[in-house]
Amino acid sequence: MPLTSIALIVIAAALCILVLTIIPTLLTIKRTAASVGELAEMVHGELKPTLQELTSVLAELKSVGGAVAEYNDDVKRFMSELGTTGDHLHTINRSVGVATNILNTTSVWATGAKAAGKYVIEQYLKKRGGM
């Protein structure tokens, strides 16, 4: 058998092995391409409604944002008035504290004056012999 015929047999066997290996690979590639096509159709079908819904949500957010911006000055004014009210309440609380302190001091002085007056009267009556 000449060397060329052996080489041709080896080449033919290699081609057969190559074809047998490529056929399953090509079939797998074909299935993968079909699956990717189905996935692309599904994504396209699902993406369109999602984008439309997102657009409507963005429109709602813009209207809500506009309404919030519209009332921003009112909220600032309300917060300013709330701070002023807090200051006034603090002032009233301090005034009530001072008045309470004065009343307590007056009460202590009155009790002291009463006890001192009682003592002075008792001492006066003892000196006069009335008791």
pLDDT one-digit tens code per residue, 47-81? 888 888 989 999 888 888 777 777 888 888 888 98
pLDDT band at 109 (very low <50, low <70, confident <90, very high): confident
Residue 68 or 91, more confident: 91
Nearest of 114, 117, 96 to residue 106 by alpha carbon:
114
- Say how many CA atoms lie within 13 Å of 103 toward its Cβ: 6
**What letter represents residue 84's amino acid?**
T
Domain boundaries, given as residue ranges, for the chain = 1-70, 78-131
- Mean pLDDT, to the nearest integer, of 16-23? 91
* CB neighbour class for 54 (10 Å; exposed up to 12, middle 13-18, buried from 19): exposed
Record the pTM. 0.39
- Residue in the block written with tokens 């001492």: 123
DSSP H or E segment with residue 106: helix 72-128
Query: Is residue 31 pLDDT above 90, yes or no?
Result: yes
